[in-house]
Structures are given as C-alpha cells and as structure tokens.
Structure 1
Amino acid sequence: MVVQHNMQAMNANRMLNVTTSAQSKSTEKLSSGYRINRAADDAAGLTISEKMRKQIRGLDQASTNAQDGVSSVQTAEGALTEVHSMLQRMNELATQAANGTNSKDSDRQAIQDEIDQLTTEIDRVSETTKFNETYLLKGEAGTKTINMKAHDAGLKGTLTDNGDGTATFVMDTLNAGDKVSIGGKTYTIAGAADDVGDMLTKADITTKHQDVTINGKTYKYNAGQTGSDTAPKKDTIEAGWYAETPKDSGTGANTTINADYKDIDAFKNGADGKTIAVGTKSVSVIKDADANGIDDVDSSVISKEKAYELASKELLAANQIGDTEGKAEVTNKAGNQIDLNTNKGDGTFKIKVGQAKVANSLAFSLHVGADADMTNKIQVNIDAMDSASLGIKGLNVKDDSGNAATYAVDAISDAISKVSSQRSSLGAVQNRLEHTINNLDNVVENTTTAESRIRDTDMAEEMVNYSKNNILAQAGQSMLAQANQSNQGVLSLLQ
C-alpha cells in the first residue's frame, strides 16, 4: 500500500475531467442549437458551412434585388398604361378631325386643344415617373437621333423601308383613264390622242362595233349603205359611229351622209378636251392651255405628271409628322424635288424619313445571383416615352382639308405600337424576374437544408450524449470519492 501516489484517484479524476469536458460541449451545443460553435468542433464542416452561408445570404439579397426590379418595372409599365390610354383618345380625336363634317375653324380647333393637352400630359408622365429617385421614362443623359416610320399618305403602291432612314415608295402604275385618290380627292388621269387610239384598238371597236361615249353622249355604229342614182334612188350613208341613227333623206337624190366618226383615227383627231369611253374604260384628253397639268374645264382631270407632283407633296406632309429636325424629304429617283416640268416624277419616290433628337434609353441591370458572374445580370432597357420619342410632338389636326388629321392617325398608330412594344418588353422582364425569384428562393431553401445538416445540433442525439455524460459525471465523482477513501486503510497499520 502506498500513500504518495493514489493511482485510483488519479484515474478517476482524469476520467471525470474527460466527462466534464464532454458534458460542457454537449451543454454548449444544446444551448446554442449549433453542432459547430468553433472551428475546433469541425474544421472542415465549418469551412463548408461558411461557404454555404455566403451563398445563402447572397441569394437572399439577389431575391430581394429581383423583387425590387419587379417593382420598378411595374411602376414604368403602369405609367405606360396611362400613356396608352391617352394615345387611344388622341386616335379618336384625330379620326374625328379627319371627318369632313367638322367646322373648319371651331370644331377642329377644339379637337386640337384637347390633343395639345394630352401631348403635354404624355410629356409630363415621361418627365416625372420615377422609382427610388430614378426617372424611368425620360431616358438618361445624352441624346440620340431616331428615325420616324415612313408613311405612304394613303396612296396605292408599295412602301419599302430601307433601314437607313430612307424608304422607297413605288406608286401603282397610272394609265390614262385611271381613277386615283390623292390627298382625299379623286382625280382622273388624262390621256393623249394616242391613249384614245390604244383604248379603242384594244376594245376592237372596228370589229365588234361597240358603242363609244364622248362627254356622256353615246355614238352607235352604223354599217351604212351604198347610194344609187337609179330607181329607187337612195343616199350614200358612210359606215361609222353616229350620235343619231342616220336616215335616207328621201329626196331621191344620191346625197352622202357622213359619219360623226368613221374610224379610230377620227376619234383620235377629235379627242382634245373630251372624255371618250368604251365599255368600262375611258380616257379624258386634257385641254391644258396654261400647261399646269390640270384640265381647263374639269379640274378633276389631271396629267400623269401632275398626279406625281401632287403625290410627292402628300407624301412629304405625311412624313413630316413628328419631324422635329426638319429632315423629311420626298424626291424622285435622281434625288430632286418633283415638279411638273424640270424634275418630273415617274411613280418611284425616295423618302427621307423625319427625325427627332431624344434622350438615350435608360439602361440598368439587376444583379440576381450570389456570384460576380455577368450572367447573373438581367438588363432592363426603357426608351424615353415623351412625345418627341413617340413621333407625335407638334401633332396638328386643324387644317382645312382634314388631311393633316388623316395622316396624324398613322403617326398615332406608330406611337401606340411603340408603347405596346415597350410594355411588352417590360412585361417579359417582369415574368422573367418572377421565375428568377422562384428559382432563387428554391436554391436558398435547399442550400439552407444542406447547411443545417452540417451546422445545426441534432437535439435528440445530443440529449442522449448529455444524459450519458451527466450520469458518467456523477459516477466519476462517486468513484473519486471512493478512491480518496481507499488510503484511509494505511492508518490502521500505523496504530
């Protein structure tokens, strides 16, 4: 027996310290809820957990970013809803102003007043709509020049946008006798004597002997008869076209009755200033003493060259709407302004579209990921939506003819289309963001689950360890007490 070294007590004390340490760690885990409270608890697990935490918190903020993006997009799109409503009202007003029953002064002026107010309100909405102090509809610093859409002024033909700020309009072929509508007025294309001859030849009047109408008077073909000086005597009636059916004079003399028009050449020679028709075709031969391309008697009859000149003016008027820079031009193929004499038109018009100087498009990106990857950026672009950008600045509907209002309808239609396109783009971004938010929230949930398995305390399992360590601690304390008492036996030997 020894008293210097109580090995039983030392062993019991060592085991009690181990149990106490384990019990302390269990208490820490149970009270904090974390399995890892310091790096020593699980060095690798801590590294993985912190990496996951970075991703989780980054994705949480990315989801918030996307939600803020939805709010900003909804703000812009909501404002454009009202712009759409105002444009629809302006379309109604322009259509109303185009009607010929309006008083030239008061009615169209009242319509113009409302259009002016709506245009000003569109500008105000564009200028003031903002989200978190960011103006959404007035673009951003700097300017750019945009091209208006080309218009055909309601003329029959083919309009081709060349994509470089120019367009080409090819008017349907004009033939003598054709009806053409220019600027809301209907004209008849005048012809020459040769046009009359061509029309009558194509109708084959010499074989089919069709009726020919001249200035509304009908001439019918009569085969005529051969005169005779012998009994019974009869007159010579020339074959040809007569306004009234020719009759034998009954005088008994061989008199010659000449046809009003005996052949196609006769019709051609007497065509000046007349409208000649056969079947459904007609040709008006212009009588133009002052050489202005307009018939001296009937102002609705014009030459082909005059029609092209008038068409060029209407094309210019239609393409000047929204042209704040004064760039709109309409020329012939050679690039010259069309007139009646020097630079005659041929039915092909080169159009230089109008232009407007507007603010640059607003562009911002939404960061919707936890990493510094550019694919985590969702770009949002919003064009300036003021009246100049929409091509309706200075819209006028109060001219006497109503043509300006007619052309304004096209310009407003283009503006509606542009707002629709912008709203559609914003709607597409919003839908994308909503899917992004759903995906982010799903990733956060699953990553949090994985991080929880690494970091969180399994309370049931740890409670088992705690209970075990609690019992071991009590047992260790008891054994330490017993080991300390074991040396008392030495005293009996010393008595």
Structure 2
Amino acid sequence: MRITNQQQMALLLSRVQDIQADLLRVREQLASGKKVNKASDAPRAFEQLVDIRATLNKIEERKVSLTEGISRLNLSEDAIANAETILQRAKEIALQQRNDTSSPTERATVAKEVHQLLLNFVDAANTQVDGRYLFAGYETQTKPYSLDSVSASAVPPTISANDNNQGTTSASISIQTASSLTGDQYKITFTSATTFDVVNLTSGETVLSNQTYTSGGNIDFDGLRVVLTDNPSGPLAGDEFTIGTHNASDATVSASVSTASALKPHVYELRFTSSTAFDIVDLTTDEVLSTGNSYTSGSNIVFAGITAVVTDGTVAPQAGDVFRIRPDYGYQGDTGDIRIEVDDGTTLSINTVGSQVFSGPDADLFDALLDLHQALVTNTPKDLDTVISTLDTGLTQVTKARADIGARVNRLERVQEGLDMLALSTQKRQAALEDADVAQVASELTALETNLTASLLVLNRQFEISLLNFLR
C-alpha cells in the first residue's frame, strides 16, 4: 500500500500532539505532586479518591467537634473544682463556728469571708467561655444563676453569751407560754458559779433573784424557757447571757422582688421600735438603711430592690419584734443537653446543667452558703448543724459531677485517638492512589521531551522533503 507524503505528515503531527499531551500530563503531575488530578487521569482511582476525601473531611469535622467538646468539659470541670474548694472552706468555717466558744464579734468577722465565698461560688456557677454560659443548658446566652426571689420570716427569741464570759456554757431558748411573752429584753447574770439573777432590761425590773443553777435545768420566766448546760465547764461569777424575745405578737411578713437589678445577697432585718415604727438594718454590711419608718399593716415597705409587707395578727407588731428578709438565688437556664456525634448514630453530652450540680439534685448549695452567712451575721450557731449537713451532701453532689465529666473527657479522648489513627490510615490510602513518584515522573518527563525533540526533527525533515517534491 502506498503511503503519501500527506499521510506521513499527518501521522507525524498526530505523534507530536500525543507526546505534547503526555508532556502536559506529566508536567502537571510534577507540579502538583499527584498522579491523579482529574477523572480522565484514572477514572477508578479518581472515584476512590472522592470517597476518601469525603471520609477525611468527615473525620476532620468530628475531630473539631471533639476538641471543642473536650475543651468545654475541661473548663466545666475547672469551674466545678473551684466551687468544690469554696464549699470545703465553707464547711471548715461552719464546723469552727458552731461551737459556743466563738463570740458574736468573731462570727460577724468570719461572715465577711463567707459572703465573699458566696460571691465566688456565684461566679463559678456563672462561668462563661466566648460569651456563652457553661451551665445554662441550651440557654447559653442566659446567666444561669441570679437573685430572683425573696424569703422572709419572723425572728424567734434568741439568747447569746457575753463575749467576756469565762465559762463555756451552752444556751438554748424556747417559748413556753406565748400569751405571757412581753417582747422585752432580758439578761441572766451569774453572781457565782451556782447562783444567778434574771433582769428585764426593758423595764429594769429583777424577774428572778439568787436562783440556784443546775446544768441542763429549766429556767422559766415571762413565757420563756431557758436551758443552760455545762460545755464542758459551767458558768462563773460575772458571766452573762442576753435574751431577745422577738415577735411576741403574731404579725406576719411576706416579701417579693421589686427591682431585680437592685437585689444583693444580703440579710436584712425590720426591727420594730414600737407598734407604729421600725428600722431597716443590713446585717451583711452592718448598716442601718433607715430609721423611724412609719408602720401601717399591709402597706408596702420598699428597699434594696425588695418589697416587704408586714401584716397585723391579732395584734400589731410590738417593740422588739424583728422580721428577717433575704434575697435568694434561682436557676434561670434549662435542662438542655448539648451533644456531639462521636460515631455514626452515637452522640455524647458535652455540657453539665447547673441545676444538677450547684442547686440540685440533692442539695441547693446557694441556699447552704446563704444560710451559713445568715447564721453568722445573726449569731445563731444552732442553725449551723443543718448547714453542715447540706454542705456534706453538696460536696458529694459536686464530686459526682466532676467524676462524670472526667469519664466523658476520657471517652472523647479515646474517640479522638481512634480518629487520628483512622485519618492516618486513610491518608496512606489516599497517598497510594494519587501521590506521584517524583523521580519516576521526572524520568518520564525527560524521555518525553527527548521524544518530542526527535519527533519534531523528523517532522521538520519530512516537511522539507515534501516541499522539495512540490517544487520539482
């Protein structure tokens, strides 16, 4: 079969074009370092690479979620650990101050530390990261804990030992006959280790004189029953006990929030100086907020963001009656469970709800700290036993929360390690499919360039021959 010059030229041109196409492919491989850059390079390998890249993207997204989850849980654990330290210190104080050797002055001083512990505890429960609250459930833009309610109660009769007492006698007081209460103040003064007098400080009258003291015996007068007990030693001459018979009337008190932004975690008292007038005292700061306020049954008494209402019973409040008022903390978040995917179809919670750590499920630790502070500023150590019990329950509650967080962090870290291994093996598969052998590609490039040069020379020679034939 005869092959014409034109056919030879066409074949040579086709060969040159093929070599140039191969050169383009090889140069692209050398520049990118990959032997598969588009589907036409290797259709089956390209399809596998698409799946591999999707897998790697999914792994990376999951690793980012895991990192954020671990960080959030670790920050939560740090905040709870801080709260736990605060509670341990609060318990130490409660144990120290529940004994009868601590004076009212000492308790008032320690109350300032407890108040600061309370504020630090609030900060821990309201911890934020990047503008989001950790313990508010789904409500990450809402502060979990704030003062949102007010409690109020009448103050029962009290008895306190003089700071200068030499003995270590414990004292308790109760109402024996309510109808006989006077609302006056009294003082028990020991004239010797075995005898005492009782004086009505309001009227100046001696109620009991030269009475014989028996440890644990009842001392009854004007509707009251006082019990003094050696603890361990008995009273000595000169020892004194002051008695306040608050709320001899049956008036009642209620309180609510009037201005939430003005509320403070303080303890207040409405102290009646007569049946028609009262003072308002902030026990936390030891500050008299107002004096000589006119009393009308059922009228609003507004102060420090609080609206209080005192209402007459069968009689109006009497001089010496005291009503105690305190704002309380409440949980503002929800029970939302923030979860991340740790495996296909499997999720894990990365948040801890504040109501399951700080105010429940077994103990409200805000109330415990508020009660501790109140017991100290009001010098009522008998209330500390309940506080200590609540703190014990709360410490167990907090410890369980920390352990739960630790377990979740461990699981997420194990999942993270597994994803790292999966990513590594997947990347190896990817490299085997698409990574070019640079040395081999460079060698192929050199060979193709040599072939192209030779082909162009042949093409040029063939063109010259064809041109000569044409000129002849």
What TM bracket, shorter-length normalisation? 0.5 to 0.7
Q: 2:37 aligns to what?
A: 37
The alpha-carbon deviation at position 76 of structure 1 amounts to 1.6
Aligned counterparts of 1:130 and 1:424: Cα–Cα separation in 2: 21
**TM-score calculated relative to the size of structure 1:** 0.50
* Equivalent-residue separation in structure 1 for 2:359 and 2:461 (angstroms): 98
Match of 2:340 among 337, 342, 366: 366
Aligned amino acid, residue 94 of structure 2: A
Displacement, 1:465? 2.0
Secondary structure of 1:366's counterpart equals strand
Q: Which residue of 1 aligns with 2:131?
A: 133
Worse overlay, 113-122 or 36-45: 113-122
The match for 2:452 is 473
Match of 1:71 in 2: 71
Q: CA deviation at 1:401?
A: 7.3
Rounded to whole Å, the distance in 2 between the matches of 1:65 and 1:86 is 32
5 Å matches for 1:270-289?
A: none
Partner SS for 2:346 = helix
Matches within 5 A, 1:64-463: 64-103=64-103, 105-127=104-126, 129-139=127-137, 358-359=331-332, 360-361=334-335, 363-368=337-342, 373-384=344-355, 385-386=357-358, 389-390=364-365, 392=368, 394-396=370-372, 397-398=375-376, 402-463=381-442
Flag the 1:73–1:41 CA change in 2: closer, same or farther, 3 A: same
373-382 or 441-450, which moves further after superposition? Answer: 373-382
Q: Mean Cα displacement is larger for which, 19-28 or 356-365? A: 356-365
Cα distance, 1:94 vs. partner?
Answer: 0.6
Q: Output the CA distance in 2 between the equivalents of 1:401 and 1:7.
A: 116
Deviations 1:261-310 (A, max 9, x none): xxxxxxxxxxxxxxxxxxxxxxxxxxxxxxxxxxxxx999xxxxxxxxxx
Cα distance, 1:481–1:19 mapped onto 2, change above 3 Å: same
Which residue identity lines up with residue 131 of structure 1 in the other structure? V
> RCO (CA 8 Å, sep 6+): is it higher in 1 or 2?
1
Q: Which runs of 5+ in 2 are unaligned?
A: 145-169, 173-227, 231-328
CA distance in 2 between counterparts of 1:422 and 1:184 reads 40
CA contact (8 A) 2:90 2:114 kept: yes
Shift of 1:408: 1.8
Tell me the secondary structure at the aligned position of residue 395 of structure 1. Answer: helix
Residues 202-236 of structure 1 show CA distances to partners (whole Å, capped at 9, x for unaligned) of: xxxxxxxxxxxxxxxxxxxxxxxxxxxxxxxxxxx
Distance of aligned partners of 1:53 and 1:77 in 2 relative to their CA distance in 1, 3 Å threshold: same
Q: Which residue of 2 aligns with 1:50?
A: 50
Between the aligned partners of 2:58 and 2:119, the Cα distance in structure 1 is 44
CA distance in 2, matches of 1:404, 1:489: 122
C-alpha RMSD of the superposition: 3.8
Report the Cα distance in structure 2 between the residues aligned to 1:9 and 1:400, rounded to whole angstroms.
113
TM-superposed deviation, 1:400: 6.8
CA distance in 1, matches of 2:42, 2:93: 76
Verify the 8 A CA contact 1:362 1:383 in the aligned structure 2.
Answer: no
Q: Percent identity?
A: 18
Q: Aligned partners of 2:347 and 2:424: how far apart in 1?
A: 19
Q: State the Cα distance separating 1:54 from its structure 2 match.
A: 1.7
| Structure with the bigger percentage of strand | 2
In 2, distance between residues paired with 1:7 and 1:443?
Answer: 57
Q: Counterpart amino acid of 1:432?
A: R
Distance 1:19 1:401, change over 3 A: closer
TM-aligned CA deviation for residue 487 of structure 1: 4.6
Larger Rg: 1
Relative to structure 1, the CA distance from residue 381 to residue 491 in structure 2 (aligned partners, 3 Å threshold; closer, same or farther) is: closer
Q: Distance in 1 between matches of 2:125 and 2:119?
A: 10
Secondary structure of 2:371 counterpart: coil
- Whether the aligned pair in 2 keeps the contact of 1:45 and 1:454 (CA below 8 Å) is yes
Shift of 1:380: 3.4
Once residues 13 and 410 of structure 2 are traced to their aligned partners in structure 1, the CA distance between those partners, rounded to angstroms, is 68
Contact 1:63/1:368 (8 A) holds in 2: no
Kindly state the Cα deviation for residue 368 of structure 1 after the two structures are TM-superposed.
4.4
1:66 CA displacement:
1.4
**1:15 Cα deviation after fit:** 2.0
Contact 1:383 1:422 in 2 (8 A): no
What is the aligned length? 286
Preserved CA contact (<8 Å) 1:9 1:484? yes
Q: 1:481 and 1:414, CA in 2 relative to 1: closer, same or farther beyond 3 A? A: same
In 2, distance between residues paired with 1:123 and 1:7?
Answer: 92
- CA 1:120–1:488: 2 relative to 1, 3 Å: closer
State the SS of the aligned residue for 2:351. strand
Deviation at 1:37, TM superposition (A): 2.1
Mind listing any 5+ residue stretches in structure 1 that lack a counterpart? 144-182, 186-297, 301-355
Displacement of 1:89 in angstroms is 0.9
Task: Note if contact 1:99-1:402 (Cα within 8 Å) is conserved in structure 2.
Answer: yes
Partner amino acid, structure 2, of 1:9: M
CA contact (8 A) 1:367 1:378 kept: no
Deviations 1:40-87 (A, max 9, x none): 112222222122112212212321221122222222222222211111
